[in-house]
Chains A and B, each alone.
Chain A
Amino acid sequence: MKTRITALLLTLTFLAGIGYVAWSRFSSFHNRNYLVGIVNPNKGSAEIVRGFMEGLSSFGFQEGDNVIYTKCEQEDQIEAALHDMVARKMSLIFTATTPATQKTMKAIAGGNIPAVFAIHDPVESGIIKSLSEPGGDLTGVQICGSVPKTLEWLLALVPGIKRVYVPICFDTKAASQSLASLRQAARSLGVTILEGEVRSEEELDAALASMPEDADAVILLHSMLISTHADKIAQAALLRKLPTAAAIEKCSEGVLVSYCPDLYRIGRQASRLAAQVLRGASPADVPSETAEFFLGINLNTADKLGLKIANDILLQADEIIR
């Protein structure tokens, strides 16, 4: 009788051991389903989202496989959407634009939902404490670029510019931040800034129609409205034979020169951070990063403007659109 009991115990132990090993092997994150929310009211920066999603899938978070995305791209629906996301206990929320990120930060406060952002200046906006130690529920990518250098490049391409028209909408903190640094740079370079505040698309249209006559160039700064209608502005400038420099996004049609981060890359960079958070890291422990920025020159636009860009400058460009 005792022999049988011993044999039974041994067999059970053996099976238990095997079972444990099997369980530990097979219980990986692949079995989990992740709910990821995306909040990006800036239609102009849709590339960020694409980069984010593709980036996440390269880290093993496939949509349809183990990730379900919930997007909100309407500015007026953000609060409701966030409320909903919180209620559904999202694994992660990715936000772009400062206002959206601020709302997200409020929504997830005190909860267990982490968030990853891609905004202009998170430290200045109070989203994080510092880049290396975010210290909260959010981490992400800083995409401030360099407005002074944008101006510098503009002048390098088209020397003799004295007055630059800046359409601006203060729908994001980034706008005032970038405007402030533009003013400073302009002073250093001896350039005058012609500010044109607009609050809506109608006003923008009106402003474009009534661009100052003595503007030598146009510069696009961070703001959602501007970003959304960057093409329109650039076209308008082109009509006036004015070179446009963009500090916000790559030179699309009509923009002569851009010196800013790549939206897609930003998304991918953010996705790398998001992957770490999804794998269990706390946002407080994942340092926020700055996005790389690139010099882009659109030769087509240069052609249309009748400009000849020196080879030395072209050599320095990271991207040339021909």
Chain B
Amino acid sequence: MTTSPIPDLDATSRRPGVGRELWRRLSGRLARLLAGLHQTWRRSLQVRVVTITLVVSSLLVGGFAFLIADKITSILLDNAKTDVRSRLTSGADYAAKQFSLYSQPQEAQLQETIDGTVNYLAGGDPQQTSGVVVALTADGAGGMILPRSSPAVDFRPLLSPDLRAAVAGGNVANQIQTGRLTGDRATKYLVYGSPVPTRFGQVELYYFVPLTLQDTTASQARATVVATGVALVLLLGLLAALVTRLVVTPVRVAARTAQRLSAGLLDQRMAVNGEDDLALLAASFNQMATNLQRQILRLEEMSRLQRRFTSDVSHELRTPLTTVRMAADLIFAERDGFEPAVARSAELLQAELDRFEELLTDLLEISRFDAGFAVLDAEPTDVVPVVHRVVDRLSGLAERVGVEIELDVPTAPVIAEIDPRRVERVLRNLVGNAVEHGEGRPVRITLGIDDTAVAVTVRDHGVGLKPGEEKLVFNRFWRADPSRARQTGGTGLGLSISLEDARLHGGWLEAWGAPGQGAQFRLTLPARAGDRLITSPLRLVPADATLPFGATSTDGLLAIGPASDGVLVVGPAAPAPEQRAEVAS
């Protein structure tokens, strides 16, 4: 039975855990860094240009640096080789001459001659170390000739078997080897070998030439090239940054100016320096801004004049109207004394004067809005009495038309900071419209409230609105059926004024309608004046509305969106903030 060592589970399990944690942290940091870089990359033209310049110039300069350094090294090496080759050739020549005096390897003077020859070839004085080592070997002479070198060193380790084989085979060959011969440090040597023919067999002559100088020169050249390259790349990067900055700064200024311009600061201009392209851009920009400003001012002026005209016309009409009114009132009061046709005309005159007066009033109101003179007199007000007052006011009309007004109002007071006069006018308008277009069906008024807003919906079951009319209804003098005579009330400006009132409150006035299902209007106001509306306490689309295509749920919203096969589908929408017909401010 064997027992295997129980692995230290603790340590092994903890380590990967720590590792994973570290890895996660690291990768998180890396991801953040990358994201930051990415963002910087996307946002800054300068960064992009500089980076690309750096990368491209690095590649180019790196390539050139490599070529130059390689070339320098090979030239140095070639020079050294040529030099050594010529020395070797003359050396081998000399040695061959010296050895030609001997025909047997055992002649005693031969070894002396070998010594003398290597000393001579090494420069005579072995003490004078130029680093060059000259060596003679005679492996073919049966060991009778000892290998000699000058200075006397052990050169065997630097003599590779390959080189010896090549030279022994009668070739002049060379090789670079690193080793220690004369000094303490390992040095690169160019080992050059040549065969020396003699009468007693072949002797091999080797030169070991240190490449210290060449190595130093090559590395110096390399350092110079690298330094130059790095400096060049940095310079290029700097240059790119500078140039980009030169271009980008005015562009940024232009962008900022354009932003300010679009924000309405029409007198913003760019500074024009010099006469270059950027100056041209700035000048053109300024020109454009000036033109725009002029156009806008002109339009504004025109619009102001128009509004002024409307207001003036309204005012100017009021005075004669008052006279006419007084005359008409007189005639109207005396109508009983007239013959029926004239009396009828007096009545008509009276009615049309009422409408005229109303129209003038509305026009004045609208022109006040347009002129921006409308001021909100907001005060905390209970909305419930306002609703009741409106219903009371219109109850007469409702009875006359035969419309029942249903009220869904909380019993508790609903306090909001509103201008009660304007809210009342809005509600009156909405309810009046509903009663008018109710076609005898009941009109329902609902008051809703939440923390931030107060909402009132007015629902009728009249002809309803065709698709697209939800927005048109707020246009001035808009009528669903233009052919319909302006029989009943309505100046065509009521909803426009209501919309302006709602806007003045910072609230919404929206409409919903469907043919045959009636319409619903919703007024939403912030509970505190100046607050921004986010939602409405009440839904715009009434709960009893039937959706087209027989939608399933009455509760859920419908959404229209693209389906997978490219057709539009209508289906239940995801629970989301209220979908409204955007007429809000």
Partners in one complex: no
